[in-house]
């Protein structure tokens, strides 16, 4: 039989189980991002504990402005650094910082041999030339994998540094047992998460479609997906008609409204239809931070010739 017509047995079993779950009226299994993140952090912590005494990776975070969501993320990152044994510093710059000023800071951080990893918090204030900023990140310190070199490596399917959130999403998808090889996957969004996410799923042999604001009849496309990743930041964007029964649904969206955090996926629809669903909060968020710890440790290990986490 021609290669393209072969249907993987694992995929058939997964879909049959999902259909059975649905016909029995079962609700989605929640994917425990906190437990997965804990396992990743523990591997990083134990790896760093094996390094010579007094040697620790150093992560430099750069925040321009005072976006409240960014301040929350940064506080979470700092707590995680303390848990695993990474030294972290924050450079806070005013909203009025120009592109030229930010590039001068990045030049200095790039040349600082004591710094292993640099993270420029997104989003940057309007008016800053984001392409110039990510292009100024030295690829060997680019912990987000956002620089043109690292994105290019991923596009070529030879990744060096994989962006933290999509890397975490891949781990969450794999934790369900769903076979990615040959699966139909849909990514909603083509930004910092959606773009590399589609590349990672393609690299894992899924057949990937990307939807965005210009996509017509999006539900016709997303409802075909056994793996659906939404990374937009519009609460309730993904409703019942968008979800295939039994699908693995990864909700990257995180929007704070009146003190509550909402994902892109309508929670009730997700629970009723999906086979597996990441909750918000407690799904993708903790995994992003854990993967940042892992990426930081890997960059430091490479620069210093020390063991990297497993």
Closer to ligand GUN by Cβ: residue 102 or 164: 164
Q: How far from chain centre, in Å, is Cα 296?
A: 15
**Are residues 299 and 53 in contact, defined by beta-carbon separation less than 8 angstroms?**
no
Closer to ligand GUN by Cβ: residue 17 or 71: 71
Closer to ligand GUN by Cβ: residue 122 or 204: 122
Query: In the set 97, 165, 222, 230, which binds ligand GUN (CB under 6 A)?
Result: 165
The answer to the question of residue 137 lying near ligand GUN (CB under 6 A) is no
Q: How many residues bind ligand GUN (CB under 6 A)?
A: 9
Closer to ligand GUN by Cβ: residue 147 or 222: 147
Question: Is 160 one of the annotated active-site residues of the chain?
Answer: no
Q: Which of residues 47-86 bind ligand GUN (CB under 6 A)?
A: 73
Q: Tell me which long-range contacts 222-227 makes (C-beta under 8 A, separation of at least 24).
A: 222/186, 222/188, 224/184, 224/186, 225/184, 225/185, 225/186, 226/11, 226/14, 226/15, 226/18, 226/178, 226/183, 226/184, 226/185, 227/173, 227/178, 227/180, 227/183, 227/184, 227/185, 227/186, 227/201
- Strand locations in 177-295 (E): 184-188, 207-211, 227-230, 248-251, 255-257, 260-262, 276-277
The answer to the question of residue 144 lying near ligand GUN (CB under 6 A) is yes
Q: Which stretch binds ligand GUN (CB under 6 A): 76-84, 113-121, 229-237, 262-270?
A: 113-121
Q: Which of residues 207-246 bind ligand GUN (CB under 6 A)?
A: none
The answer to the question of residue 120 lying near ligand GUN (CB under 6 A) is yes
Query: Which distant-in-sequence residues (6+ apart) come within 8 Å of 274 by Cβ?
Result: 28, 243, 246, 247, 248, 249
Please state, in angstroms and rounded to a whole number, the distance separating the CA atoms of residues 193 and 304: 29
Question: Is 77 one of the annotated active-site residues of the chain?
Answer: yes
140 CB-contact burial (10 Å; exposed 0-12 / middle 13-18 / buried 19+) = middle
Q: Which stretch binds ligand GUN (CB under 6 A): 88-96, 119-127, 173-181, 263-271?
A: 119-127
Query: Which distant-in-sequence residues (6+ apart) come within 8 Å of 13 by Cβ?
Result: none
Query: In the set 36, 195, 288, 295, which binds ligand GUN (CB under 6 A)?
Result: 288
**Are residues 125 and 64 in contact, defined by beta-carbon separation less than 8 angstroms?**
yes
Q: Which stretch binds ligand GUN (CB under 6 A): 81-89, 100-108, 120-128, 148-156?
A: 120-128
Question: Is 144 one of the annotated active-site residues of the chain?
Answer: yes
* Closest residue by beta carbon to ligand GUN: 122
Min separation Cβ 120 and ligand GUN, Å: 6
Q: Which stretch binds ligand GUN (CB under 6 A): 19-27, 104-112, 116-124, 208-216?
A: 116-124
Q: What are the residue numbers of the active site?
A: 77, 121, 144
Residues that bind ligand GUN (CB under 6 A): 73, 119-122, 144, 164-165, 288
């Amino acid at each position: 039989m021609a290669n393209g017509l072969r249907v993987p047995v694992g995929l058939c079993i997964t879909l049959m189980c999902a259909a059975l779950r649905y016909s029995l009226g079962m609700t989605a299994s929640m994917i425990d991002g906190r437990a997965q993140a804990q396992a990743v952090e523990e591997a990083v912590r134990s790896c760093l504990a094996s390094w010579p005494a007094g040697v620790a990776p150093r992560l430099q975070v750069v925040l321009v402005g005072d976006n409240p969501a960014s301040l929350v993320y940064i506080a979470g990152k700092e707590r995680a650094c303390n848990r695993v044994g990474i030294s972290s510093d924050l450079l806070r710059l005013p909203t009025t910082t120009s592109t030229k000023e930010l590039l001068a800071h990045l030049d200095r951080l790039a040349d600082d041999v004591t710094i292993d990893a640099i993270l420029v918090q997104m989003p940057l204030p309007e008016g800053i030339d984001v392409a110039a900023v990510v292009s100024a990140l030295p690829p060997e310190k680019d912990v987000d994998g956002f620089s043109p070199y690292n994105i290019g490596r991923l596009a070529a399917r030879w990744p060096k540094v994989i962006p933290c959130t999509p890397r975490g999403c891949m781990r969450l998808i794999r934790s369900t047992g769903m076979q990615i090889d040959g699966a139909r996957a849909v990514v909603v969004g083509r930004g910092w998460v959606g773009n590399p996410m589609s590349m990672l799923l393609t690299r894992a042999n899924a057949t990937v479609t990307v939807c965005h604001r210009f996509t017509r009849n999006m539900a016709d496309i997303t409802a075909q997906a056994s793996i659906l990743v939404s990374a937009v930041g519009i609460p309730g964007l993904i409703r019942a008609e968008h979800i295939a029964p039994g699908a693995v649904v990864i909700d990257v969206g995180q929007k704070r409204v009146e003190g509550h955090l909402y994902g892109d996926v309508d929670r009730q629809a997700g629970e009723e239809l999906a086979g597996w669903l990441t909750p918000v909060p407690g799904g993708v968020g903790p995994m992003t931070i854990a993967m940042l710890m892992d990426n930081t440790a890997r960059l430091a290990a490479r620069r210093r010739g020390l063991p990297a986490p497993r």
